[in-house]
Structures are given as structure tokens and as C-alpha cells.
């Protein structure tokens, strides 16, 4: 029996060792395969194999570095940051990994920790820290801009965005075009239709109509004819000639390629050879809603470099684009071509050192005024690609200005388009809180309205009035906002430029006040101030009604006077606890008897109009005062003084205090 137990034990040990060896061999195979995928830029395939391997084996420093780089390549900044932080625990100070770690902290908005890492990088690698001042300044600026964002409202265009990549919205004749790698419903994709870098389908160009700010009322559709096998990207439409310039990619054989996380510069292994996706520009003409005459750009050279992201000057005579062609300042630069007399494009020229850096410049856009917008990670920015603007043309530009928060974020921000220059439009971003990887956002420039509510009491003095109910109505679109003024009578609200707003203030014991205001924006930090002055309801106090005019020697209610009397109707409806006397006054011209009779008729006519609006006649009486109670006493009155004396007033004759018990 003892011999049998020993035999069984030996068998179990043998099986355990066999299983362990098998697991280790299988894990090593997964690690080897993960490295193959990474070398061939198939990061979406490499990552799960690395993670599976790490469940069985403790990762070595090189393994941690590799999976961190995979996450960097698919723009998963948080995961890359986590693995790079772990890499630092090995105390292996690699310049690339240290700088990548600092950059991921910056791209996450952790500017304080990023600055610490940049300083540490400088201490260890002083010879590679020539840009330390720029790195630190960008962190300081990022903190400052985040704390005090400009007055733009930014909204995710949720109906347009998917869980994948959606970017590069721009207008064309029949609506808008944009690029997306979203999966079609119920569609099955072959391995050749999936981009190994991201694991998503290749980007295709879609069209969308009925786009209103952040709302889409029609489903986007894939565009016929112009989409190619691989990626299809951003472009520009020439409305004068009905020609579309757009970006495609082509597979090109290449023995080796340094990793590049450009969202439109892709590489993938197709067979045993290594391939790189290089961008090219194509054009197509729209004829009877069909794309025809599809033509490659004369300066495509995808065997050696990329050209893409085309943009046109307002007159259509300068074509701007991004390219990695030799002789530039950095990874990719902005170039331009001039249109020749025969309609062809002259040879490319670099747009100059003012906008191009040792980093990456891409996604140029020209607005209707000729202003250039582009994205860069080499200009001082918040992290990733930031959008910049500058004035000029060709290779002569002003110093680029960062568009700051909320247009820019610590992540990648690019491809702006302006409906109204400087005020409304769209851009793309992979910022936190989005629906997918890259999303399309709508933005509108606004302003801050700072208001204050005051009480005007019996001696006409003003004092701040708290807890006033304020309604703000946008007359342009009928949007309504309700709020309450604070203990100092203050309130504030965001508003849109070039819109008309009505402010209505109400509080028990005070007459309602209404003010119209038209907004005008001039800078990114516009502020408009509005005061709402409420008259306290007091017995035997008279209040002048503005703009109550009558035709000469007449007492009939004119349309313009009716509008003002309607306000008094609203006042009586909102204050059912008061009775009033409506008094009419004339100037001193004419006889006393004539003025007395005329003013009485006018007062009675106004009261009759008010009663016709369903106001209880017992709450209002008419009284004509003629010239007996002038507002301005004068022997030889001026026209202005006569006008002041020709007035209509109402006086509170009674307050039913039993209805006043709920006053605040």
C-alpha cells in the first residue's frame, strides 16, 4: 500500500511539473508573439498578449517598457502612465521612458507632478534638456488656463460620435463630411479590414446633413466612390469649383519605421514583410451629387513621405497641407503650394519657422478671413496636440496663439472648423469624458452677464435687493433660465454673442422689472453688466408710465401706447393685492378747462383698455389732472420740460394687506 502511495505521489509531481512547464512554455510563446505584434505596429493585438503573460510571469523591465509604448501608440495615456510609473520602480533611467512619463502626466492634466518629473529628467539627462524651460512654462500655462477658461461653451456632438474614432468635420456642398472608424451595424469584418494598430476598422469618410449645433437629425452615410481600402481622412471643399481635396493612406513596403502616434499616420504588417501607411492627397469633383475625376495630388510621394490634411485660402489660390517630406523643421510641417495660371499647383514650399517646430504640426485650417488654425505638439501647449491661430499667408505668419481652455485640453485637440469666425464651430478631441476615442465637439463663444438687483424705495434711493427671482429669456431661441439673486443682489449667467436677452425680475412687495439687452462679443473674456431696479410697492406713491403718447387733441389708445399699458396689465395681474389710480397729465399749453377735459378722457381711455384685458374695474380708477400737477414747474418751459409734464402715472391707492402675508 505504501509503495502504491509513493507511486501516485510521483505521478502527481510529474503531472504538476508537466503542467507548469507547459504553462511557462505557452507564456513564453505569448510573449514572443506580443513582441512580434508590437514590432509590426499591431498594438491592439500585442496588449492582451502582454497582459496574459503578466498573469503568469512577473514582467521584466523591458516588458514593462514595451507594453507602456503599446499603450502610448493607441493614445491610452492613463494606462501608459501606469506602466511607465512601474518602469521607474526598476531605477533604470531611460531618457525616452522618463520623458514619456512626464509627458503622460502633462497629458493627464497633472501639471505639478509633470513639472517634478521634467526637473528630475534635467538632473539626470542635462544634455537632452534644452527644452526644459518650454516644458515647465507649458505646465504653468496649463494650470493657469484650466483655472480660468475662456468664455466658450463646448458640447459633445453625441449623435455623431461613436465609441471609436470620429474626427475632422468640415462643410461641403450638401452638408458636412467627416471621418470615422465606427463599425457598421451587423457588419462582419475580415482581418484585412481591421487596422491592427487600433483594432478598429479603417477610417472612412461619411456625409451628414441637418446638423444644428450639437444636434443631428439625419443618420450619417458612408460616401460612395472616394473611400479607399485603408484610411480616408480630413480635407477641404472648394465651393467655387465644387472640388474636394481629401486625405487617403496607402500601404508601402518599408524595412523599418520608428513608432509614431500621429492619429493619421499608420503602419501595419500585411504579410511577412513590414508595411507603413503613408498619407496622400487626392481631389474629386462633385457633379450631380456624384464624385468624379478622382485625381492624385501632383506632389504625392508615399514611397518616401506623407502629405495630407489639405486646406485652402479663401480665394482658393493657396493649398496648405501637412507633410513629413525631408528638409522640414520636425516630424511633420505645414507646407503650401501656389495655384498656377493653368490651374495646377506649383511645387511645395515650407510655411516657415514661425509655425513649424521640431515637433509635429498638422491639420491646417483657413477660415473665411484668411486666419490660419493648426495643431501642434511643438508650440507651447497644454499637452498632446493643441490648436493655435495666427495671421498671415504663405510663409509669413504672426506668432501663433494658443486657443487655451476649453477649446484645448491636456489631450489631442485638432481639426477646427468655424461656422462663424471666432464664435461658433466644431473641433475634434480625444479629451477625457468623450464618447469614444476621438470625438467631434461643437463650440460657441459666449460671455458672462453679471447682474444686480436693487430696490428703489420711497426717497428714490437704491439699495441691493436679495432673493429676487430672475428669469433670463433668449429672444432668439426662447431658451429660459431661472435663478435667484444672492444676499448682495448679485447673479451671473453665461450668454451667447449677438443674441437678445430679456431679464425679468420679480419679488413680493415690489413691482416687476423687465430689461432687454443685446449681447456683443469682442474678446474671449467679454463681460456685460445689467442692473434690475425694482420699485417698492407703497401706498400713495406715483409711478410714471413711459412712452404713453396720444395723437394731438386725441385720447384714443395708439398701438405704441397699448404695448406700455400691457405692462401695467401684467403688473396688476402679478400684484392682485393692489388697487391703483391711473392719472393723465398735460403740459401748460392750452386752457385749464381744455387740459382738464382732455386729460380725463385720456385717463378714462387708458383705464377702459386695461379693463378690456380682464382686470377687475373695481381695482382701477381714472383721474385727469390737466396741468395742475406739473412734474417740472417752469414759467417758460422748454420742449423737454413740456414732454416731462405730459405724462401718464399710476398711484397705488390701496394695498390689501391680508394678501401680503406671504411677502418675503
| Distance, CA of 124 to CA of 95 (rounded, Å) | 8
Picking from 510, 504, 595, the residue whose alpha carbon sits closest to that of residue 555 is: 595
Q: Are residues 129 and 175 in the same domain?
A: no
Distances in whole angstroms, Cα of residue 66 to Cα of each of 47, 199, 259: 9, 18, 12
pLDDT at residue 379 in the model = 93
* Residue 432 sits in the same domain as residue 552: no
Residue 81: inside a domain: yes
Q: Are 58 and 27 in contact (CB under 8 A)?
A: no
Q: Residue 57 sits in which domain range?
A: 2-138
Looking up residue 619, the CATH number of its domain turns out to be 3.30.1330.60
> Are residues 101 and 31 both part of a single domain?
yes
How far is 72 from 38, CA to CA, in rounded Å?
12
Whether residues 531 and 403 share a domain: the answer is no
Q: Is 256 a member of any domain?
A: yes
Task: Give the CATH number for residue 242.
Answer: 2.120.10
* CATH code for the domain in which residue 67 is found: 1.25.40.10
Does any domain span residue 257?
A: yes
- Residue 468: pLDDT band (50, 70, 90) is very high
Mean pLDDT is lowest, of 117-126, 216-225, 317-326, for 216-225
Q: Which of 580, 562, 564, 583 is CA-nearest to residue 572?
A: 580
CB 278 within 8 A of CB 249: yes
- β-strands 620-626, 578-585: how paired? parallel
* Whole-angstrom distance, CA of residue 520 vs CA of residue 501: 11
Partners of residue 374 on adjacent β-strands:
388
Domain count, the chain: 4
How many residues are given for the chain? 664
Percent of the chain with pLDDT over 70: 89
Number of Cβ within a 10 Å radius of residue 346:
14
Q: pLDDT class for 42, splitting at 50, 70, 90? A: confident
How are beta strands 361-366 and 372-376 bridged, if at all?
antiparallel
300 or 626, which is more confident: 300
- Mean pLDDT within 198-209: 91
DSSP annotation of 596 reads H
Cell numbers found for residue 549: 403718447
Domain endpoint, select from 390, 406, 437: 437
Q: Which three cell numbers stand for residue 9?
A: 505521489
Does 570 lie in the same domain as 520? no
Q: What pLDDT is attached to residue 520?
A: 82
How confident is the model over 323-382, as pLDDT tens digits? 999 999 988 999 999 999 999 999 999 999 999 999 999 999 999 999 999 999 999 999
Q: What is the CATH number of the domain that holds 465?
A: 2.60.40.1120
pTM confidence score: 0.75
In angstroms, rounded to a whole number, what is the distance separating the alpha carbons of residues 409 and 87?
A: 26
**Percent residues over pLDDT 90 in the chain:** 50
pLDDT tens, position by position, 213-234: 888 878 899 998 899 989 999 8
Omega cis (within 30) before 332: no
Q: How far apart are CA 449 and CA 517, in angstroms?
A: 10
Q: How far apart are CA 190 and CA 229, in angstroms?
A: 12
User: Where does the pLDDT of residue 663 fall: very low under 50, low under 70, confident under 90, or very high at 90 and above?
Assistant: very low
The grid coordinates listed for 634 are: 417752469
| Model confidence band, residue 658 (pLDDT cutoffs 50, 70, 90) | low
CA distance 473 to 461: 28
Does 229 map to a domain?
Answer: yes
CB atoms within 10 A of CB 271: 7
pLDDT at 21 over 70: no
**352 within some domain:** yes
Q: In 427-459, which positions are buried (b, 16+ CB within 10 angstroms) versus exposed (e)?
A: bbbbbeebbbbbbbbbbbbbbebebbbbbbeee
Q: Is residue 165 part of a domain?
A: yes
Residues 269 and 185 in one domain: yes
Q: Rounded distance, CA 194 to CA 104, Å?
A: 27
DSSP 8-class letter at 182:
P
Please check whether residues 249 and 381 belong to one and the same domain: yes
- Whether the CB-CB separation of 81 and 384 falls below 8 Å is answered with no
Same domain, 497 and 557: no
Instruction: For residues 118 and 237, state if they share a domain.
Output: no
Higher-confidence position of 639 and 272: 639
Q: What is the pLDDT of residue 398?
A: 97
450 close to 436: Cβ distance less than 8 angstroms: no
For 499-527, the pLDDT digits (tens) are: 899 999 999 888 888 899 998 877 666 78
Answer yes or no: are the C-beta atoms of 383 and 369 closer than 8 Å. no
Least confident residue range of 412-426, 571-585, 644-658: 644-658
Question: Do 455 and 462 contact (CB within 8 A), yes or no?
Answer: yes
Least-confidence region, from 457-471, 514-528, 544-558, 612-626: 544-558
Beta bridge partners of 579: 654
Residues facing 585 on adjacent strands = 626
What's the rounded Cα separation, in Å, for the pair 420 and 497?
11
- Domain membership of residue 144 (yes or no) is no
Query: Which pLDDT value is given to residue 26?
Result: 67
Give the residue from 225, 244, 227 showing the smallest Cα distance to 172: 244
Rounded Cα distance between 64 and 52, Å, is: 13
Task: Identify the band that residue 662 occupies on the pLDDT scale cut at 50, 70 and 90.
Answer: very low
The vertex-384 CA angle with 378 and 386, nearest 5°, equals 70
Confidence grade of residue 260 (pLDDT, cut at 50, 70, 90): very low
Query: Torsion angle of alpha carbons 230, 235, 238, 242, nearest 10°?
Result: 30
Q: Which of 291, 280, 300 is nearest to 237 (CA)?
A: 291
Cell of 174: 450638401
pLDDT one-digit tens code per residue, 275-286: 567 899 999 999
73 and 182, same domain (yes or no) = no
What average pLDDT does range 396-421 have in this prediction?
93
Q: If you average pLDDT over each of 246-260, 302-316, 438-452, which comes out highest? A: 302-316
Q: What is the mean pLDDT of residues 71-88?
A: 89
DSSP for 361-393, written as a single string: EEEEEE-TT--EEEEESSSS-SSS-EEEEE-EE
pLDDT of residue 3: 53
Residues 340 and 261 in one domain: yes
- Decide: 532 and 453 in contact? Cβ < 8 Å: yes
Q: Is residue 147 part of a domain?
A: no
Helix axes 2-39, 43-54, angle to 10 degrees: 150
Q: Where are the alpha helices (DSSP H) in 75-131?
A: 77-88, 95-107, 111-124
For residue 201, what is its C-alpha cell? 476598422
**Higher pLDDT pick, 43 / 663:** 43
Which of 486, 501, 535 is the last residue before a domain boundary?
535
Q: Which of 253, 359, 247, 353 is nearest to 309 (CA)?
A: 247
Strands (E), 421-567: 424-429, 439-456, 462-464, 469-474, 480-484, 490-496, 500-506, 513-518, 527-535, 542-545
Domain boundary among 411, 437, 463: 437
Q: Which residues fall within 8 angstroms of residue 498, CB to CB, at 6 or more apart?
A: 423, 518, 519, 520, 521
Which residues contact residue 496 at a Cβ distance below 8 angstroms, ignoring those fewer than 6 apart?
444, 445, 446, 447, 474, 476, 519
List pLDDT tens digits, range 486-495: 999 999 998 8
Per-residue confidence band for 265, with pLDDT thresholds at 50, 70 and 90: very low
* Backbone φ and ψ of 134, nearest 5°: -65, -40
Q: Contact, 493 vs 472, CB < 8 A?
A: yes
| pLDDT attached to residue 17 | 46
Q: Clarify whether residues 407 and 548 are in a common domain.
A: no
Which tens digits make up the pLDDT trace of 144-198? Answer: 999 988 888 899 999 999 999 999 999 999 899 999 999 877 778 887 888 888 8
On whether the CB atoms of residues 576 and 638 are closer than 8 A, the answer is no
Amino acid at each position: 500500500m505504501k509503495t502504491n502511495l509513493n507511486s501516485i505521489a510521483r505521478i502527481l509531481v510529474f503531472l504538476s511539473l508537466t503542467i507548469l512547464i507547459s504553462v511557462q512554455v505557452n507564456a513564453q510563446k505569448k510573449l514572443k508573439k506580443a513582441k512580434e505584434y508590437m514590432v509590426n505596429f499591431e498594438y491592439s493585438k500585442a496588449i492582451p498578449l502582454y497582459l496574459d503573460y503578466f498573469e503568469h510571469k512577473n514582467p521584466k523591465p523591458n516588458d514593462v517598457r514595451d507594453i507602456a509604448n503599446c499603450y502610448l501608440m493607441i493614445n491610452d495615456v492613463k494606462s501608459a502612465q501606469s506602466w511607465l510609473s512601474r518602469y521607474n520602480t526598476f531605477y533604470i533611467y531611460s531618457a525616452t521612458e522618463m520623458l514619456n512619463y512626464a509627458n503622460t502626466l502633462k497629458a493627464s492634466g497633472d501639471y505639478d507632478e509633470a513639472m517634478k518629473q521634467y526637473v528630475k529628467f534635467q538632473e539626470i539627462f542635462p544634455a537632452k534638456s534644452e527644452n526644459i524651460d518650454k516644458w515647465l512654462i507649458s505646465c504653468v500655462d496649463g494650470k493657469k488656463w484650466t483655472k480660468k477658461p475662456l468664455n466658450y461653451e463646448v458640447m459633445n456632438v453625441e449623435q455623431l460620435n461613436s465609441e471609436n474614432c470620429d474626427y475632422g468635420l468640415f462643410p461641403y456642398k450638401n452638408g458636412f463630411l467627416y471621418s470615422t472608424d465606427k463599425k457598421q451595424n451587423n457588419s462582419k469584418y475580415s482581418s484585412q479590414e481591421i487596422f491592427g494598430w487600433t483594432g478598429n476598422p479603417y477610417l472612412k469618410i461619411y456625409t451628414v446633413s441637418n446638423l444644428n449645433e450639437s444636434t443631428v437629425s439625419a443618420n450619417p452615410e458612408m460616401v460612395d466612390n472616394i473611400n479607399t481600402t485603408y484610411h480616408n481622412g480630413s480635407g477641404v471643399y472648394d465651393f467655387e469649383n465644387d472640388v474636394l481635396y481629401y486625405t487617403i493612406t496607402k500601404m508601402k513596403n518599408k524595412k523599418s519605421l520608428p513608432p509614431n502616434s500621429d492619429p493619421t499616420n499608420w503602419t501595419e504588417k500585411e504579410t511577412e514583410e513590414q508595411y507603413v501607411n503613408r498619407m496622400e492627397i487626392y481631389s474629386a469633383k462633385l457633379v450631380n451629387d456624384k464624385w468624379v475625376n478622382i485625381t492624385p495630388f501632383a506632389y504625392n510621394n508615399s514611397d518616401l513621405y506623407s502629405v495630407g490634411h489639405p486646406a485652402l485660402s479663401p480665394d482658393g489660390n493657396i493649398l496648405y497641407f501637412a507633410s513629413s517630406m525631408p528638409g522640414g523643421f520636425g516630424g511633420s510641417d505645414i507646407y503650401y503650394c501656389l495655384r498656377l495660371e493653368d490651374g495646377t499647383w506649383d511645387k511645395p514650399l515650407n510655411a516657415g519657422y514661425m509655425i513649424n517646430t521640431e515637433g509635429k504640426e498638422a491639420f491646417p485650417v483657413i477660415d473665411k478671413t484668411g486666419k490660419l488654425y493648426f495643431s501642434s505638439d511643438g508650440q507651447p501647449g497644454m499637452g498632446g496636440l493643441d490648436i493655435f491661430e495666427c495671421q498671415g499667408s504663405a510663409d509669413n505668419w504672426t506668432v501663433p496663439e494658443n486657443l487655451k481652455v476649453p477649446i484645448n485640453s491636456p489631450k489631442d485637440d485638432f481639426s477646427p472648423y468655424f461656422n462663424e469666425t471666432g464664435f461658433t464651430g466644431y473641433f475634434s478631441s480625444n479629451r477625457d469624458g468623450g464618447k469614444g476615442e476621438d470625438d467631434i465637439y461643437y463650440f460657441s463663444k459666449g460671455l458672462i452677464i453679471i447682474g444686480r438687483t436693487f430696490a428703489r424705495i420711497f426717497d428714490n434711493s437704491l439699495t441691493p435687493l436679495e432673493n429676487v427671482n430672475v428669469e433670463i429669456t433668449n429672444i432668439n431661441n426662447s431658451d429660459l433660465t431661472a435663478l435667484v439673486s444672492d444676499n448682495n443682489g448679485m447673479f451671473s449667467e453665461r450668454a451667447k454673442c449677438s443674441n437678445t436677452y430679456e431679464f425679468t425680475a420679480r419679488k413680493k412687495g415690489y413691482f416687476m422689472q423687465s430689461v432687454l439687452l443685446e449681447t456683443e462679443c469682442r474678446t474671449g473674456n467679454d463681460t456685460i453688466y445689467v442692473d434690475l431696479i425694482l420699485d417698492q410697492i407703497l401706498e400713495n406713491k406715483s409711478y410714471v408710465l413711459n412712452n404713453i403718447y396720444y395723437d394731438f387733441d386725441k385720447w384714443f389708445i395708439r398701438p405704441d401706447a397699448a404695448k406700455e399699458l400691457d405692462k401695467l396689465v401684467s403688473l396688476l395681474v402679478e400684484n392682485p393685492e393692489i388697487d391703483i389710480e391711473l392719472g393723465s397729465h398735460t403740459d401748460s399749453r392750452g386752457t385749464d378747462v381744455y387740459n382738464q377735459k382732455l386729460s380725463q378722457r385720456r385717463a378714462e381711455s387708458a383705464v377702459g383698455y386695461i379693463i378690456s384685458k380682464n382686470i377687475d374695474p373695481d381695482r382701477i380708477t381714472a383721474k385727469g389732472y390737466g396741468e395742475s400737477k406739473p412734474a417740472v414747474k417752469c414759467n417758460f418751459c422748454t420742449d423737454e420740460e413740456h414732454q416731462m409734464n405730459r405724462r401718464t402715472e399710476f398711484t397705488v391707492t390701496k394695498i390689501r394687506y391680508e394678501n401680503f402675508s406671504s411677502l418675503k
